[in-house]
Amino acid sequence: MHVTIKPDIYWVGAIDWNVRSFHGYQTKYGTTYNSYVVEDEKVALVDTVKKGFEDQLFSRLEHAGIDSLDYLVVNHIEMDHAGSVRSVLEKFPEVQLVTNERAKKGLEDAYGIEKEVMIVDTGDELSLGEKTLTFVRTPMVHWPDSMVTYAVEDKVLLPNDAFGLHYASNKRFDDEFSEEEMGRIFYEAAKYYANIVLVYSKHVQRVLNKVEELGLEFDVIAPSHGIIWRDKIPEIIQRYKAWSSGEAEDKIVIIYDSMWKHTEEAAYQVAKGIDEKKTDYRIYNLKKSDWTEVMTEVMLSKGVIVGSPTLNGEIYPTVAGFLTYMKGLEPFDKSAAAFGSYGWSGEAVGKIVNIFDELDFDTIGKAKWVFKADEDGLSDLKNLGREMAEKIKTQ
Phi and psi torsions of 203, nearest 5°: -70, -40
CA distances from 276 to 182, 270, 281, 385, 387 (A): 33, 10, 12, 9, 11
**What's the pLDDT tens digit per position in 325-363?**
999 999 999 999 999 999 989 999 999 999 999 999 999
pTM of this structure: 0.95
Active site residues: 23, 76, 78, 80, 142, 161, 192, 225
pLDDT at residue 395 in the model: 76
- Across-strand partners of 255? 284, 306
Task: Domains for the chain: give ranges and CATH numbers.
Answer: 3-245 (3.60.15.10), 252-392 (3.40.50.360)
**Residue of 360, 261, 369, 249 lying closest to 300 (CA atoms):** 249
With a pLDDT cut of 70, the percent of the chain lying above it is: 100
In this predicted structure, the answer to whether residue 85 has a pLDDT above a threshold of 80 is yes
* Residue 13 · residue 32 · CB < 8 Å: yes
* Residue 359 · residue 330 · CB < 8 Å: yes
- Which residues lie below 8 Å from residue 65, measured CB to CB, with a gap of 6+? none
- Across-strand partners of 251? 280
Output the CA angle 149-153-159, nearest 5 degrees: 20
pLDDT at residue 25 in the model: 87
In this predicted structure, the answer to whether residue 94 has a pLDDT above a threshold of 90 is yes
CA of residue 289 relative to chain centroid, distance: 18
User: Which band of pLDDT confidence, cut at 50, 70 and 90, is reported for residue 216?
Assistant: confident
Give the separation between CA 202 and CA 180, rounded to whole angstroms.
31
| Omega within 30 of 0 (cis) for the link into 142 | yes
pLDDT at residue 394 in the model: 86
